[in-house]
Amino acid sequence: MSISLLFISFVVFSLADLPSCFSIDQQYEKCLSALSCGSGSTVFPNITYPFWGTNINKPKYCGQSPFKLSCKNNQTLAVEIGNLTLRVLSTKLENQIITVASWLNGSCPNIWNFSGNDHYTLNPSTKKIDLFDCSDRHPSSSLSNISCNISNNSQKTYHVFRPSSSPPQGCTKVGNIPMLESAKNALHQSNDSNQALKTALDQGFDLRYNIKNQICQACTISNGICGSESRSESFRCLCKDKPHNSSCNDDQG
Ligand SMILES: *[C@@H]1O[C@H](CO)[C@@H](O)[C@H](O)[C@H]1NC(C)=O
Ligand SMILES: *[C@@H]1O[C@H](CO)[C@@H](O)[C@H](O)[C@H]1NC(C)=O
Ligand SMILES: *[C@@H]1O[C@H](CO)[C@@H](O)[C@H](O)[C@H]1NC(C)=O
Ligand SMILES: *[C@@H]1O[C@H](CO)[C@@H](O)[C@H](O)[C@H]1NC(C)=O
Ligand SMILES: *[C@@H]1O[C@H](CO)[C@@H](O)[C@H](O)[C@H]1NC(C)=O
Ligand SMILES: *[C@@H]1O[C@H](CO)[C@@H](O)[C@H](O)[C@H]1NC(C)=O
Ligand SMILES: *[C@@H]1O[C@H](CO)[C@@H](O)[C@H](O)[C@H]1NC(C)=O
Ligand SMILES: *[C@@H]1O[C@H](CO)[C@@H](O)[C@H](O)[C@H]1NC(C)=O
Ligand SMILES: *[C@@H]1O[C@H](CO)[C@@H](O)[C@H](O)[C@H]1NC(C)=O
């Protein structure tokens, strides 16, 4: 009985082409499994590299340290960029793009003047829109307005003007916010432009994240999963047998 079991195991694992070792590497398995955060697994594929997050079941070795995700209220996948926390709406990892949005709770968008940092840049599909504060409460040429709380009990109204019309006197530009070019165009053509402005903010904007991709491609081609060494943060190719330095085909540890 035990001998035939042993034989079956031998045959199975020989067919699976696993070298000497009988168990699949834990890091490999973890980084291949689905992330956990509400419906976040529909936003991200199982392999999240270079993203990771301790409360989404993706340890740091599944990604690179600057690209940290977290799960808010146990249901919303968020990315932390500088001191901003943005909702992750969708991803195109093959193009190194994530679509993110500000939290809008009636509070003013926290993405004012945002133009990326060392690790993220605005993708060309993202445009900015200028917001104005006007002394005249209802400037007639205003295309749309958004009212939001700047603090506890102080509400502000900001205005957007058509690109063709210069804002009236008494209006000062207070900054810009990023949005998708398609949403910006829709806003400029909309009849219900306050709704279009809300929609534009809800749709978020595209960020491109910057990582060196060549080494990851070599790893992926060898059926590995890109990851990192938690302590040194250097690249690791996670393979079925064990983590390798660059690809599952190298002979190294
Ligand atoms: C994603 O992970 C889940 C849970 O581990 C697994 O059932 C599923 O097969 C994985 N999908 C892919 C495409 O690997
Ligand atoms: C988060 O959601 C999971 C699955 O729905 C549930 O098991 C867990 O108790 C929740 N945790 C908290 C802190 O709400
Ligand atoms: C972080 O937030 C503070 C105010 O809370 C702001 O002054 C500072 O510019 C922000 N830093 C970055 C990198 O956005
Ligand atoms: C948004 O509102 C929810 C409750 O409605 C609150 O728990 C959360 O802290 C708010 N988020 C922000 C950024 O204000
Ligand atoms: C602004 O804050 C007040 C008090 O916190 C709240 O009642 C109000 O609904 C908020 N305004 C918006 C637009 O959410
Ligand atoms: C905001 O827009 C709405 C709809 O166009 C308009 O009725 C309202 O007066 C505007 N609010 C301000 C403060 O301009
Ligand atoms: C908000 O208002 C409450 C009472 O109305 C006050 O205790 C609190 O300090 C205020 N918070 C801020 C950030 O202003
Ligand atoms: C955005 O930038 C403008 C000009 O650089 C500045 O005047 C404004 O205070 C900034 N707005 C915010 C909300 O940080
Ligand atoms: C793998 O990389 C580590 C540093 O990241 C290095 O110390 C080690 O020597 C490398 N292994 C081989 C076999 O090259």
Token code pair at residue 77? 């996948």
Ligand 9 neighbours (beta carbon < 6 A): 232, 234, 245, 252-253
The residues pairing with 72 across neighbouring beta strands, listed in sequence order, are 76
Q: How many CB atoms lie within 10 A of CB 137?
A: 9
Between the CA of 84 and the centroid of ligand 3 the distance, in Å, is: 8
CA 33 to ligand 9 centroid distance, Å:
27
Could you tell me the distance, in angstroms and rounded to a whole number, from the CA of residue 242 to the centre of ligand 1? 20
pLDDT along the chain (253 residues), means of 10: 53 48 85 91 92 96 95 93 93 95 86 93 96 88 89 87 87 95 92 86 96 91 95 94 93 61
Gap from CA of 74 to ligand 2 centroid (Å): 6
Cis peptide bond upstream of 139, omega within 30: no
pLDDT of residue 252: 59
148 burial type by CB count under 10 A (0-12 exposed, 13-18 middle, 19+ buried): middle
Distances (CA, A) of 22 to 1, 16, 163, 222: 20, 10, 64, 20
Counting ligands in written order, the one closest to the CA of 35 is 1
* Atom number, ligand 9, closest to the C-alpha of residue 235: 5
Q: What pLDDT sits at residue 166? A: 84
pLDDT of residue 213: 82
d(CA 84, CA 233): 23
CA of 139 to the centre of ligand 6 (A): 9
**Ligand 7 site: residues with CB under 6 angstroms?**
151-152
Which ligand is closest in space to the CA of residue 116?
3
Q: Is the CB of 13 under 6 A from ligand 8?
A: no
